[in-house]
Copies of this chain bind each other. A is one copy, B any other.
Amino acid sequence: MSLKIALLPGDGIGPEVLAQAVKCLEAVEETFNQHFIFKEAPVGAIAIDKKGKPLPDATLKLCKESDAVLFGAIGDPKYDNDPEAKVRPEQGLLQLRKELGLFANIRPILSHPTLLDKSPLKKKVVNGTDFVIYRELTGGIYFGEKKLNEEGTKASDLCEYTEEEISRIAHLAFKAAKGRKKKLTLIDKANVLESSRLWRKVVAKIGESYPEITLDFMFVDNAAMQIILNPKQFDVILTENMFGDIISDEGSVIGGSIGLLASASVGEENALFEPIHGSYPQAKGKDIANPIASILSAAMLLEHFGLMEEAWAVKKAVDKSLKKGIVTPDLKANSQYGTNQVGDFIAHNI
C-alpha cells in the first residue's frame, strides 16, 4: 500500500510537532516496508500571510487528492481579539472539514496510569477512565447562517440539523459502542432546543436497531458535571458540534495531559488526524512542545487504514518514552528533553 498523506503543519507549534509525527511514519516505512507519499501545504494564519486566505485552493486540492490529512494546529492570537477581522485562521479548518465532508470527530479519552498525578481530578475519580467522544463536525451552529445587521448592533447564528446529518454519525457511534462497553450516551439540551429534540428522536429510533447497546440521554449542563464527578460512567458519547467542542475539551484535561490526546475526523471519502491541543503560540520555536499527541494522531491514521501492527508499534514506542521519562517539560518538570529528542526517541523505538 502506498498512502498519499497531505501534511498541513499550520500555525504555532503545529510544524514542530507534525515533524515528529512524520519522523515516526518514516520509521514505520522502514521497519514495516510501507510507503507513504508526503506532500505539504499551508493552512491557517500562515496561509493568510502567504496566500491571503486560510485554506488556499492548492491546499484544498492536495487534501482532496490525498488518502488522508495529517494536521498540526491552527490559530494566532493576533486574530482573536479583533472582532472586525474578515479572515480568520480557524475558517481554514472549518472549511476543510466541510469540503472534505469530515462529519465525525472521534476523540478517545483515557487516563494514563503514569499521569494520574498530573490530573486535576482525584485519583479515585479519574483512574480507569476510558471513553470515546463522537462529535458531529460539519453541521449545527458552526455552519448555520450568520448575520450581522448594518449598524453592527445585532448578530445571530443559526443552529440547524437534519435527520440525515444526525443519523450518519449516530450509526458510527453505535457501531463503536458494539466493540466497547456497549453503552451510548447522547448529550443534548432537549429540554430547551428544537434541534436537540430532533437528535433525541432520531437517535432513539436508530437505537432500536442496536438492541445490545444501552442508550441513555443526558442534558449538556449535567454532562459538564458528570465528566468531572464520575468520568468512568461513560463509554461512547455522541453529541452535536458545539456541545462536542466544549465537552471534549473538558474531557481532554481529566487524563492529566492534553499533550497526549489525538483525534480523527472522518467522512465518507477522506480522513484527517490531528492533536487535540491548539497552536500554543507562546511555545512556538522553543523546542518544548509535546509531540506525543501529534505522533498518536499518526497512529490513528495507521489504524484507520488497517495498519494495526504498525499503529501498535507507534503506541508501544510512545508508552516507552512515557515510562522511561523521555518526555517534554510539560510532563516532567525540568525535563532535559525537547520536542525533537522525544520525537527521535519514539521514532528510533518503532
Contacts and interface: CB of A to CB of B under 8 A. Distances in A.
Interface stretch (A22-30, A31-39, A107-115, A251-259): A251-259
B200 A81 contact: yes
Interface of A: 75, 79-81, 83-84, 88, 90, 94, 119-122, 125, 141-142, 144, 146-148, 152-164, 189-195, 197-198, 200-201, 204, 217, 220-222, 224-225, 228-229, 242-243, 245-250, 252-254, 258
Contacts of A258: 225
A155 to B, nearest CB: 4
Interface centre among A94, A125, A155, A250 (most CB of B within 10 A): A155
Contacts of A252: 225
B156 A161 contact: yes
A228 B80 CA distance: 23
Given A83-B204, A152-B198, 5 more contacts: A120-B121, A122-B122, A156-B159, A156-B160, A156-B194
Contact of A83 (B154, B197, B253): B197
Nearest to A74: B191
A145 to B, nearest CB: 9
A107 to B, nearest CB: 12
A164 B149 CA distance: 14
A90 B243 CA distance: 20
10 contacts: A81-B204, A120-B121, A120-B228, A148-B197, A148-B198, A152-B201, A156-B160, A157-B193, A189-B245, A221-B245
B224 A249 contact: yes
B217 A81 contact: yes
A14 to B, nearest CB: 16
Contacts of A158: 156-159
B253 A225 contact: yes
A303 B242 CA distance: 37
Contacts of A148: 194, 197-198
Contacts of A164: 153
Interface centre among A147, A191, A249 (most CB of B within 10 A): A191
Given A83-B198, A155-B198, A160-B156, A246 B221 contact: yes
A303 to B, nearest CB: 25
Contacts of A195: 155-157
A119 to B, nearest CB: 8
A252 B221 CA distance: 10
A193 B46 CA distance: 22
A229 B198 contact: no
B191 A88 contact: yes
A83 B250 contact: no
A292 B80 CA distance: 41
Contacts of A156: 144, 158-161, 194-195
Give me the 9 closest cross-chain CB pairs, A-B, nearest first: A155-B198, A224-B250, A221-B249, A146-B194, A156-B160, A83-B197, A153-B163, A83-B201, A155-B194
